[in-house]
Structure 1
Amino acid sequence: MTRPRILSLADLKPQDMARRLEEDYHVLRDIGGAADVEAVVTAGNVGLSAAQMERLPALRLIAVNGVGVDAVDLAEAARRGIIVTTTPDVLSLAVAEMALALALAAGRQVVQGDRFVRAGDWGRGGKLGLGTSVLERRAGILGYGRIGRRLADLLRGMGMEVSYTARRQRPDAPDSFRPDALSLARDCELLFVTAAGGAETRGLVGAEVLAALGPQGIVVNVARGPVVDAAALAEALRSGAIAGAGLDVFDDEPDVPQPLLDAPNCVLTPHIGSATVQARRAMAQLVLDNLAAHFAGKPLPTPYEA
């Protein structure tokens, strides 16, 4: 039986999932020879542009290994009747866990402490300054989708007061609603950014929101880099307008602005929110399930819904 030809612009992980993709499909890596493929596997940060779609006249499915679709030209896909699938839910816990880890690292000076010990400063009698408690803070979640709600569950489980901002209030939510980012920042000391990327949320956390968060505030971004104004954040960190930040995402990955690299009160990680063996295997399985359903003419398990 001839294996269907697909184009893969992103690798599935762990390695055994990548092998399964190769076993089930004839996988092409170069778009130049893929004019006849019906399906493309991509990632949230890789996406698929209108220009790339134009080179794929037979394309019917874009299977995103992740939940981010801001790099996919959704308008062009819709115009051509191309279905987009994502891998929701299975990565929510991993990303929420990462957000909590960044908050703890920023508040309790985990990274600074590591550097302090490795540099020998502790052995020479040096003293590391006091950190700040995270669990005794009011938390605000900007973006109350699957990841935001999973994070809220974790925070509430540790006894924290949680409020949120979303496009609309959820009547059944156990957390307090705030109508916009500014009012949310005024009422919290830990601001977690889990909102979707795109034009609507670009620069949503800017200088005014950071000022409202205050000098004891910590901002954590595990969503998309552009949701937080990088220049405003760097200045807030430099001036002491906020106490610290934890960032897993950036505007132009892997390039990180030098002022953020220079900020000692900013914890940086290389977009690894979903990078656990468990989450990545579950994500890859959903990609495989969507591909199998497409080629079998069956309903797709997780089509993207705006």
Structure 2
Amino acid sequence: MSKPKVLVTRRWPDAVEARLKALYDVTLNESDVPMTADQMRQALKDYDAFCPTVSDKVDASVLDVAGARTRIIASYGVGYSHIDTEAAKKAGFVVTNTPEVLSECTADLAITLMLMAARRAGEGEREVRAGNWTGWRPTHMIGTKVSGGTFGVLGFGRIGREAAKRAHGGFGMKVIYFDPFPVKPELAAETGAEKRDTIEEVLRESDVVSLHMPGGKDNYHLINAERLKMMKPTAILVNSARGEVIDGKALAEALKAGTIKGAGLDVFEGEPRIEPSLLACENAVLLPHLGSATQATREAMGWRVMENLEAFFAGQAPRDRVA
């Protein structure tokens, strides 16, 4: 019996690629160059499984393929706003993601962004590397104390809760949250998190606002000029979720005007392109989408993709089906 044909759109950790080779007739992207829309459409005709990442835009035009051979789109990553799931359903594709395994490392990164923005770490490192530091002085590069402040979470899912645990347990922060879906009381109780009924309440009360909403049209520019004005002028905005949740131009204007104190961003709308006005903001920490970038987590994401593939090819329901 021939092995299923599987296409992987980007380089994955070596251990995962080796296991894929052992189990499937797999084609790897050795160059690690993003595939074009035409190449992805062709792949859907030629392979039994198509394995994209969050950097691949699998929209309706890509999925509109006559005589597609692919039946499962097993995505590498927890977010799946890069896939038009409604179009996938209509075309008969099964879509899976990789939840849970990256929650801790992404939450660690959110806290890293909070601290870097609060303590002006990016500015400080740039000053040292440029040879401009003249020595310690009492008024130099004064930052913001986060310990004991209020940590607001928008999106109290797995990653949001992990970030809340770190803020509460490590820094004694009060946790408040908004989530459009019900949260089990015991999950909120882990950090003493208090529910707020609206996004606006969280924005007004928080010293740090950490975004953990999914991307997509429902949350497009959730944080806009109007909502930024609701935040404290001493507040810090952190985004380790999806770039399109923030209006980048509005954020840059708010940072320059002092509407808010600072921001820490790991994701960007249209990345790897970054809103030029953000690049000019000294009070913005900008990282290249490192949320899940540890060896253990990136391998765990690959194993989760393989778990979904194995179930699907065995005629079972994949654990992480999202469409």
TM-score between both structures, scaled by the size of structure 1: 0.93
Give the drift of 1:47. Answer: 4.3
Change (3 A) 1:124 1:135: closer
Give the drift of 1:187. Answer: 1.0
Change (3 A) 1:16 1:183: same
Residues 120-155 of structure 1: CA deviation (Å, up to 9, x unaligned): 233467763211112232110011111111111211
CA contact (8 A) 2:49 2:70 kept: yes
Once structures 1 and 2 are overlaid, which stretch shifts more, 53-62 or 180-189? Answer: 53-62
Residues 164-222 of structure 1: CA deviation (Å, up to 9, x unaligned): 11103425022111122211101111000110111111111112221121210100011
CA distance in 2, matches of 1:208, 1:137: 23
Residue of structure 2 equivalent to 1:11: 11
Q: Give the counterpart letter for 2:166 in structure 1.
A: L
Q: What secondary structure is seen at the aligned counterpart in 1 of 2:209? A: strand
Residue of structure 2 equivalent to 1:128: 140
- Is 2:53 the counterpart of 1:64? no
CA contact (8 A) 2:264 2:285 kept: yes
Residue of structure 2 equivalent to 1:77: 88
Q: Give the counterpart letter for 1:97 in structure 2.
A: D
Residue of structure 2 equivalent to 1:190: 208
Residue of structure 2 equivalent to 1:210: 228
CA contact (8 A) 1:6 1:34 kept: no
CA distance in 1, matches of 2:259, 2:112: 22
Residues 226-273 of structure 1: CA deviation (Å, up to 9, x unaligned): 111111100000000110000001111111111110100000001111
Report matched runs for 1:1-306 at 5 Å.
Answer: 1-12=1-12, 14-28=13-27, 30-31=39-40, 32=42, 35-55=45-65, 57-123=68-134, 128-158=140-170, 159-172=172-185, 173-174=188-189, 175-304=193-322
Q: Give the counterpart letter for 1:22 in structure 2.
A: K
Identity percentage of aligned residues:
37
Which structure 1 segments of 5+ residues have no match?
none
CA contact (8 A) 2:57 2:82 kept: yes
Give the drift of 1:24. Answer: 2.1
CA distance in 2, matches of 1:47, 1:135: 39
CA distance in 2, matches of 1:143, 1:187: 16
Which structure 2 segments of 5+ residues have no match?
30-38
CA distance in 2, matches of 1:47, 1:146: 25
Give the drift of 1:33. Answer: 5.8
Change (3 A) 1:234 1:117: same
Once structures 1 and 2 are overlaid, which stretch shifts more, 296-305 or 250-259? Answer: 296-305
Residue of structure 1 equivalent to 2:35: none
RMSD value, Cα? 1.9
CA distance in 2, matches of 1:266, 1:193: 15
TM-score between both structures, scaled by the size of structure 2: 0.88
Give the drift of 1:34. Answer: 5.2
